[in-house]
Amino acid sequence: MKRATFTVLFFILRTKKLKDGTSPICARVTVNGSRAEFRLQKGIQDRLWDHKQGCAKGKTKEAHEINEFLNMVQAKLYNYRSDLYASGKPLTAESIKKAYFGIEENERTILQVFKEHNERCKSLVGIDFAQGTYERYVTCYKHVENFISFMYHKKDMALHNVTPSFVKDFDFYLKTQRACSHNTATKYLKNFKKITRIALSNGWMKEDPFKNIKFHLEPVDMDFLDPQELNRLIQKKMPMERLQQVKDVYLFCCFTGLAFIDVKNLTYSDIIDKNGMPWIKKKRQKTKNWCNVPLLAPARKLIEKYKTNTYCIKTQRVFPVLSNQKMNAYLKEIATLCRIDKNLSTHTARHTFATTVTLSNQISIEVVSKMLGHSSINMTKKYARVVDDLINKDMKKIYGKFDDIRVS
């Protein structure tokens, strides 16, 4: 049998600089005219690279170390060629590349499994998954892909290389390189854990990389508007139509407790009449629980304001709602204009409804829970803060009762 032609060449990518300003060193394997290229875990200054020889030039310590590394890589690639040839397995440029990265022929990789999951998830949007859930998995995929490139200088990794150390390094990468908070990083790790569970259940992985790793979310004290801030926002006329529109949608959520996606999808068919009083009665997209909310006067006025809006007439939506990203960006501008020193987001409106609009006005937590569409009161407690005014109202009941007690 004729032996396959085989060559190894090293080169640098001058147009794809690494963070330290060096150019990444790459290897090109050619077998019978077919090529496979991949980056190595090294970078070099352009002036130190000998383009013709495919190695570092000069007699510096750095040049010596790089050339030693390249010799080692070349030796490994030749060994992989010999092993594949001796075993009778297909000898191609791609099979040599996979051997170098520790990927056996037909062995699945982590990004391959992740991509397959996301494609299935996309097909089930609106059936088993919300659009936001799919988008979070897409974002997590990108983080894993970038982490593998950053940490291992590879485009993908075999499943057997996803170890507890890989998971811990990924967590560290998210918090340092991507500046994710602890809770955000934890949510991405939970998304990633689902992918490894799929691999384990199909027998593609032998060891669970999350076996001894436990997740915990740190409690977050979400901002909400107090009565003075809420009134300031109501009274403030916005200088631009886009800000006024965002303000109106936000205020509607403050007086109904609707989440962003639920107000975005709110239609006139979700508003019913109960004894002459309009109510919102709809299933929450996130939990599929019903929320039942009587419309207060400010909410009714806002609905009336947009009945002639062209977009609302065309789509039968109650409000013209922008994307969540744009809403949150414009809310930062609105907070500045209203002199509100808080990090406003679409979700703070839900907290404002739970705390300032309802519980502070002595609406029972059971009723608030039902209006928010929660499965249990424990979920509502995360939204509800007992504010000073409410404490004062309750404590007035016992003011004076202990005045005659003498303390010795």
The C-alpha atoms of residue 112 and residue 195 are separated, in whole angstroms, by 10
The C-alpha atoms of residue 314 and residue 307 are separated, in whole angstroms, by 11
The C-alpha atoms of residue 257 and residue 151 are separated, in whole angstroms, by 43
Q: What is the pLDDT of residue 9?
A: 95
| Domain shared by 32 and 117, yes or no | no
Instruction: Note whether residue 329 is domain-resident.
Output: yes
Average model confidence (pLDDT) across the chain: 89
Tokens of residue 335, six digits: 């907070």
CATH number of domain containing 317: 1.10.443.10
Q: What is the pLDDT of residue 173?
A: 96
**In Å, how far are 147, 217, 235, 388 from 188, measured between CA atoms?**
13, 12, 40, 36
Q: What is the pLDDT of residue 391?
A: 66
| pLDDT greater than 80 at residue 92 | yes
pLDDT, average across residues 332-359: 92
Place of tokens 């006024």: 244
The pLDDT tens digits of the residues spanning 126-141 come to 788 878 889 999 999 9
DSSP output for 224-272: ---HHHHHHHHHPPPSSHHHHHHHHHHHHHHTT---HHHHHT-BGGGEE
pLDDT confidence band for 17 (50 / 70 / 90): confident
Instruction: Note whether residue 222 is domain-resident.
Output: no
Q: What distance, in Å, lies between the first and last C-alpha atoms of the chain?
A: 106
Q: Which of 62, 79, 100 finishes a domain?
A: 100
The C-alpha atoms of residue 140 and residue 346 are separated, in whole angstroms, by 22
| Domain shared by 360 and 271, yes or no | yes
Residues ≥6 apart with Cβ < 8 Å to 64: 56
| Domain shared by 54 and 114, yes or no | no
Q: Which of 167, 201, 235 finishes a domain?
A: 201
Q: What is the pLDDT of residue 1?
A: 45
| Domain shared by 114 and 72, yes or no | no
| Domain shared by 232 and 376, yes or no | yes
| pLDDT greater than 60 at residue 343 | yes
More confident of the two residues 90 and 326: 326
In this structure, what is the dihedral angle of CA atoms 134, 139, 145, 149, given to the nearest 10 degrees? 180
pLDDT, average across residues 24-44: 91
Lowest mean pLDDT among 62-76, 215-229, 320-334: 215-229
| pLDDT greater than 70 at residue 304 | yes
CA-wise closest residue to 44 among 61, 67, 62, 23: 23
- What is residue 132's three-state secondary structure? helix
| Domain shared by 268 and 372, yes or no | yes
| Domain shared by 234 and 332, yes or no | yes
Instruction: Note whether residue 17 is domain-resident.
Output: yes
Residues ≥6 apart with Cβ < 8 Å to 388: none
With pLDDT > 90 as the criterion, what percentage of the chain qualifies? 61
| pLDDT greater than 90 at residue 166 | yes
Cα dihedral 256, 259, 260, 261 sign: negative
| Domain shared by 245 and 379, yes or no | yes
Instruction: Note whether residue 210 is domain-resident.
Output: no
CATH number of domain containing 125: 1.10.150
Q: What is the pLDDT of residue 101?
A: 81
Instruction: Give the total number of structural domains in the chain.
Output: 3
Indicate the angle between helix axes 241-254 and 324-337, nearest 10 degrees: 100
pLDDT confidence band for 158 (50 / 70 / 90): confident
Please, which residues bridge with residue 34 across strands? 31
Instruction: Note whether residue 209 is domain-resident.
Output: no
Residues ≥6 apart with Cβ < 8 Å to 153: 24, 39, 40, 41
The C-alpha atoms of residue 366 and residue 326 are separated, in whole angstroms, by 33
Q: Which of 39, 74, 100 finishes a domain?
A: 100
Q: What are residue 22's phi and psi, to 5 degrees?
A: -85, 165
With pLDDT > 70 as the criterion, what percentage of the chain qualifies? 95
| Domain shared by 191 and 145, yes or no | yes
Instruction: Note whether residue 212 is domain-resident.
Output: no
pLDDT, average across residues 344-363: 89
Instruction: Note whether residue 216 is domain-resident.
Output: no
Place of tokens 């097909």: 123
Residues ≥6 apart with Cβ < 8 Å to 265: 285, 317
| Domain shared by 72 and 175, yes or no | no
pLDDT, average across residues 206-210: 92
More confident of the two residues 147 and 405: 147
| Domain shared by 236 and 264, yes or no | yes
Tokens of residue 62, six digits: 């750095």
Instruction: Note whether residue 403 is domain-resident.
Output: no
The C-alpha atoms of residue 213 and residue 222 are separated, in whole angstroms, by 27
The pLDDT tens digits of the residues spanning 306-341 come to 999 999 999 999 999 999 889 999 999 999 999 999
pLDDT, average across residues 179-200: 95
Range of the domain at 174: 110-201
pLDDT, average across residues 98-127: 87
Report the half-sphere exposure of 88 (CA within 13 A, side-chain side): 0
The pLDDT tens digits of the residues spanning 96-108 come to 888 888 776 667 8
**In Å, how far are 243, 244, 318, 330, 333 from 240, measured between CA atoms?**
5, 6, 21, 11, 11
| Domain shared by 244 and 375, yes or no | yes
Lowest mean pLDDT among 285-294, 315-324, 351-360: 285-294
The pLDDT tens digits of the residues spanning 231-265 come to 999 999 999 999 999 999 999 999 999 999 999 99
